[in-house]
Copies of this chain bind each other. A is one copy, B any other.
Amino acid sequence: MEKLLVKQLYRETEKFADKEVSISGWVRTLRSSKAFGFIEVNDGSFFKNVQVIFEETLENFKEVEKLSISSSITVIGNVVLTPEAKQPFEIKATKIVVEGESSSDYPLQKKRHTFEYLRTIAHLRPRSNAFSAVFRVRSLTAFAIHKFFQERGFVYTHTPIITGSDCEGAGEMFRVTTMDLNSIPKTEEGKIDYKQDFFGKETNLTVSGQLAAEAYALAFRNVYTFGPTFRAENSNTPRHAAEFWMIEPEIAFADLSDDMELAEDMVKYIINYVMENAPEEMEFFNSFVDKGLIERLTNVANSEFGKITYTEAVELLKKADKEFQYPVEWGCDLQTEHERYITEEVYKKPVFVTDYPKDIKAFYMRMNDDNKTVAATDLLVPGVGELIGGSQREERLDLLEKRIEELGLHKEDYWWYLELRKYGGTKHAGFGLGFERMIMYLTGMSNIRDVIPFPRTTGTAEF
């Protein structure tokens, strides 16, 4: 008798027809009459449950028929094909071992719960259909990303989480310290004496691994990061979390157009991988979370992404027969309403907006010949808006130093970053993909709190 995962049973049903098998999992539903009963068992390896039939001949029939939802059991029985029924097969139990009973006050009873409520039981919510699907897709997406880059020979680079500088320049940071907050050590001048802190200096949680990734791209040519990043921003929105994961590829001997090609290939690869490897989950999202999801993703996977410059986009928005909450002028940052108009109403597919005004972009982006715009790009996708932000990096030492000075930053803080330009620098580019934003895009889930196992947001670090 074979111990199986439910996934194996579903994927190779024929092979196990009329065979005796053993599965283990949790009771999702149970109904019984005097002579027999049905249990829907889910073992977490697969979205769907297995239907188990048990009869009163079962040694512990009375124990089994009273099992609470979420009790864990091992079922030994025969696989019976049921081509007429909703499910392709069922297991006729010859033995059911109760591994662990659940209590009758189990909070995830059959009735539908709000996502808000389920967040308060984040340790149990992955046992529900929706979150079982979300987190299986999250896992598959992560692997798809690794697979995509590894197949292309990219070197996965772990950039530091704790940073000794705040020169990543992308937002508010969390301080990391081992100092006693009840008695912060002070210098003679009365300033905080960071020399006595763990690292002998101020340290924070990273907001981006890009600068470090550039160092590695200038050694390995093609690299990517995939790790947690942090923002200490007090923004209580459905799209922001204080802790989230980012993917940041960085490619040398490459310009903005190579960068966009890579981003387009990656997005398509991820969509195809997830649709292929999680069809049941995607069907569920398409039916219950976001109708039209599969059609939208299929379109994206099959379309050639559009390209438009920021300047053209501004013209287009100004001419638009549409009232925007925020008016558009050349030089201003595009708002989500603008981005969605461009991708959803004009292009009806993903579109790269390129060459943004230098003043609304970061210091490291490569100056264009017009001296007003930089070689940056945002990828806008229908339903979400900005999915990816990238740029070609400024490889010209003199221009980079000039930008750093202009912005009032300190060259000394960037000594090693500048040296990358001094010792055989070359054109290079990269982009950042917010992992959770990608998951939201793939699943149609609309709150970032519902795609992170135990989310950290303003005021919340439970579990």
Contact = CB atoms under 8 A, between A and B. Distances in A.
A422 interface: yes
Contact of A178 (B44, B175, B198): B175
Interface centre among A159, A172, A212, A456 (most CB of B within 10 A): A456
Contacts of A132: 219-220
Interface residues of A, number: 105
A459 to B, nearest CB: 5
A35 interface: no
Contact of A26 (B44, B200, B205, B424): B424
A124 B423 CA distance: 9
A416 interface: yes
Q: What 9 pairs between A and B have smallest CB-CB spacing?
A: A164-B461, A44-B220, A126-B219, A199-B461, A24-B253, A72-B426, A139-B156, A102-B424, A70-B424
A72 B176 contact: no
A221 B43 contact: yes
A182 interface: yes
A243 B27 contact: no
Nearest to A191: B182
A201 B136 contact: no
Contacts of A252: 24, 44, 72
Nearest to A228: B161
Interface in A17-64: 24-27, 43-45
Contact of A459 (B126, B157, B200): B200
A455 to B, nearest CB: 8
A136 B123 contact: no
Interface string A416-430: 110111111111000
A192 interface: yes
A454 interface: yes
A270 to B, nearest CB: 14
17 contacts: A24-B426, A25-B221, A44-B252, A70-B423, A74-B253, A99-B424, A100-B395, A106-B423, A123-B215, A132-B220, A136-B220, A140-B150, A158-B452, A161-B230, A175-B179, A177-B181, A228-B228
B175 A176 contact: yes
A100 B424 contact: yes
A450 to B, nearest CB: 14
Contacts of A106: 423-424
A199 B70 contact: no
Given A220-B44, A228-B227, A416-B463, A421 B215 contact: no
A373 B311 CA distance: 71
Contact of A163 (B179, B181, B461): B461
Interface in A125-167: 126-127, 132, 135-136, 138-140, 142-143, 146, 150, 153-164
Given A139-B150, A198-B234, 20 more contacts: A26-B219, A44-B221, A45-B220, A68-B424, A99-B427, A100-B424, A100-B425, A101-B424, A102-B424, A103-B422, A122-B416, A127-B219, A132-B220, A158-B245, A162-B230, A162-B243, A198-B232, A200-B461, A212-B454, A227-B228
A62 to B, nearest CB: 19
Nearest to A229: B161
A443 interface: no
A138 B172 CA distance: 31
A127 B200 CA distance: 28
A174 interface: yes
Contact of A453 (B121, B216, B458): B216
A18 B74 CA distance: 63
A210 B306 CA distance: 44
A203 interface: yes
A425 B103 CA distance: 10
A460 B163 CA distance: 10
Contacts of A138: 156, 158
Interface string A233-265: 010000000110100000011000000000000
